[in-house]
Amino acid sequence: MSYLSSNQLKQYEDEGFVSPINIFSKDKAKEIRNEIEIIENKMPEELKNSGRYNAHLISPLLDEVTHNSNILDAVQSLIGENILVCGTTLFIKNAYEKGFVSYHQDAKYIGLEPHNWVTAWVAITDSNEENGCMRMWSGSHKDNLKDHDQKFNEGNLLTRGQTVKNVPKEKTTPLILKAGQMSLHHPTVVHGSELNKSNDRRIGFVIQSYIGTDVKQVLGKNSVQLARGVDKFNYHEKIGRPQKLLEEKDIQLKKQENDYLQEIFYKGSDKKGKF
Ligand SMILES: O=C(O)CCC(=O)C(=O)O
């Protein structure tokens, strides 16, 4: 059982994140990386651009991570025992590519209300300052939602290049993780990440997010899986879990969910980015 300790709960409350938390072994992380790379080799477009969302619907190993009981215990400590998975994102930064994430608050654009939800960032490779780990503006989750510029800038891995101004970058905390560890972050904590300057890829598998059953999607529609407990609210359609790698029906389901997501992410925008 991996419920959060009182120190970890205090860190989350004070800083807006808790990290690192051990989830699975380095060998398991390698196996998962391998499955991701099998998908990339067999279907080179499947995980690119807006295909990076909801890979847990086509990959049994990413599905297993999404429903991992160590993760769910920690998540339960923050949002209660009735937990839904409402989506996942693969944040991959390849070596020698210019990928970064501008400082932003997830709650600004994800459409999940109220904020009884949490994001789990699971390290499939090590994640550190050299390869562009996430950095958190500690305590920023206590303020209201901030103004974000929409920069649509090159190399930005966010849909619209959403950017909070005047973040004191020298004061941000790097979330250094070994493969198989995770961090949890609050919907309103300001965070981002820099370039990968190493010679290997950095892979984060992000459950974005685990939501309480009382949480609605106010910008559109997304389907969910019941991860734990009971859903007395039934605000969202339920979808199944993959039994095998890359089954055609699962690929179609992922596409449908990602089409819904595009509507959420670009609602009210006359411009579209590549994610
Ligand atoms: O993977 C990254 O560098 C950033 C991910 C992120 O912004 C998030 O998980 O909310």
Number of the ligand 1 atom closest to the C-alpha atom of 193: 3
Preceding amide of 174 cis, omega within 30:
no
CA of 180 to the centre of ligand 1 (A): 16
Residue 65 lies in a domain: yes
Preceding amide of 209 cis, omega within 30:
yes
Residue 273 lies in a domain: no
Preceding amide of 114 cis, omega within 30:
yes
Residue 272 lies in a domain: no
Q: Residue 191 belongs to a domain with what CATH number? A: 2.60.120.620
pLDDT for 176: 98
Q: What is the tally of structural domains in the chain?
A: 1
Looking at ligand 1, which residue's alpha carbon is closest to its atom 1?
Answer: 91
CA of 229 to the centre of ligand 1 (A): 27
Q: Tell me how many degrees the CA angle 100-98-156 measures, rounded to the nearest 5.
A: 40
pLDDT for 48: 95
**Which residues, 6 or more positions from 263, have their beta carbon under 8 angstroms from its beta carbon?**
219, 220, 221
CA of 232 to the centre of ligand 1 (A): 31
Do the Cβ atoms of 18 and 71 come closer than 8 Å? Answer: no
| Whether the CB of 209 sits within 6 Å of ligand 1 | no
Structural domain range at position 85? 6-265
Do the Cβ atoms of 26 and 178 come closer than 8 Å? Answer: yes
Distance CA 157, CA 112 (A): 21
Residue 254 lies in a domain: yes
In sequence order, the β-bridge partners of residue 228 are 83
- Strand boundaries in 124-228, DSSP class E: 134-137, 149-150, 162-163, 173-174, 181-185, 190-193, 202-212, 216-217, 225-228
Q: Which residue has the tokens 């990602």?
A: 258
pLDDT for 197: 96
Residue 188 lies in a domain: yes
pLDDT for 1: 67
CA of 1 to the centre of ligand 1 (A): 26
Per-residue pLDDT tens digits of the chain, which is 275 residues long: 689 999 999 999 999 999 999 999 999 999 999 999 999 999 999 999 999 999 999 999 999 999 999 999 999 999 999 999 999 999 999 998 989 889 999 999 999 999 999 999 999 999 999 999 999 999 999 988 998 988 888 888 888 888 999 999 999 999 999 999 999 999 999 999 999 999 999 999 999 999 999 999 999 999 999 999 999 999 999 999 999 999 999 999 999 999 999 999 888 888 888 88
Q: How many Cβ atoms sit within 10 Å of the Cβ of residue 225?
A: 19
Number of the ligand 1 atom closest to the C-alpha atom of 133: 3
Residue 232 lies in a domain: yes
